Amino acid sequence: MANHLNITHYSERFRKPRERGVAQTIALVDDDRNILTSVSMALEAEGFKVRAYADGVEALEGLSARPVDVAVLDIKMPHMDGMELLSRLRQKTSMPVIFLTSKDDEIDEMLGLRMGADDYITKPFSQRLLIERIRALLRRTELSRDTAGPSESATVLTRGDLMLDMERHVCTWCSKPVALTVTEFLILHALAQRPGHVKSRDQLMDAAYGEHIYVDDRTIDSHIKRLRKKFKSADPEFGHIETLYGIGYRYKEG
């Protein structure tokens, strides 16, 4: 029998539609069926559609064919762990991803962020915390695509060879596409908005995560490393994201 759990029914009175009654879809991937069932019920009560997978292999097949609004991946699973699943997904999609990691797996957390996860939550976790993180990530996704309004045409930020299209969530360097996660896109946009001006880690946290979510300083550092690696793949001479040790980061002018 397939591991994909069809858990999509929920009460109409709890529905919180994104637009025209279309609910956002969350994928849960965890080999613990108790977590899949309880978290699915909690998410459905909040108005989300849920696709649950107890196996990374089937999740890869399902999510490659039909991406979701946010994927929540457990790191430690048999057959295909969350790290490998994320790596393969990132070859095809930039869908937002939250990792579930064990309490003492600090290395896994940082490795996951460097591989392109947008956020992580440590087990055991409260369902309310997970829902808040999902909603925050969805807001960031909308923000990264947000336009300035019908009277504004400046939805594209250009800084030399860098182009960021906020509306389409597209980034290019020297006309070459650079695939960014939601978090990476927002961090880069915050830096490139004012070249030469230093952004502290706290400011970058606020830009990428919002003011009400705390993440460790190393989380921002991991995202910066990931950004640099992606741009160096497009241009080995890339060096526009500068580190000011003990202060923060800035986007180099010129």
Show pLDDT as tens, one digit a residue, over the chain (254 residues).
344 444 333 333 233 434 445 689 999 999 999 999 999 999 999 999 999 999 999 999 999 999 999 999 998 888 898 889 998 988 888 888 998 887 665 556 666 666 778 888 888 888 998 998 898 888 877 776 654 344 334 578 899 999 998 777 889 999 898 988 888 898 999 999 999 999 998 888 888 877 656 666 678 888 899 899 999 999 999 999 999 998 999 999 76
From residue 146, alpha-carbon distances to 142, 172, 208 in Å are 6, 18, 14
Q: What is the pLDDT of residue 106?
A: 58
98-133: b (≥16 Cβ within 10 Å) or e:
bbbbeeebeebbbbbbebbbbbbbeeeeeeeebbeb
Asked if the domains at 4-145 and 156-251 fall in one CATH topology, the answer is no
Q: Where are the domains of the chain?
A: 4-145, 156-251
Task: Please tell me whether the peptide bond between 124 and the residue prior to it is cis, using omega within 30 degrees of 0.
Answer: yes
Q: Report the chain's C-alpha Rg in angstroms.
A: 18
Distance CA 168, CA 110 (A): 28
- Number of Cβ within a 10 Å radius of residue 194: 13
Give the CATH architecture of domain 156-251.
Orthogonal Bundle (1.10)
Tell me yes or no: is domain 4-145 CATH 3.40.50.2300.
Answer: yes
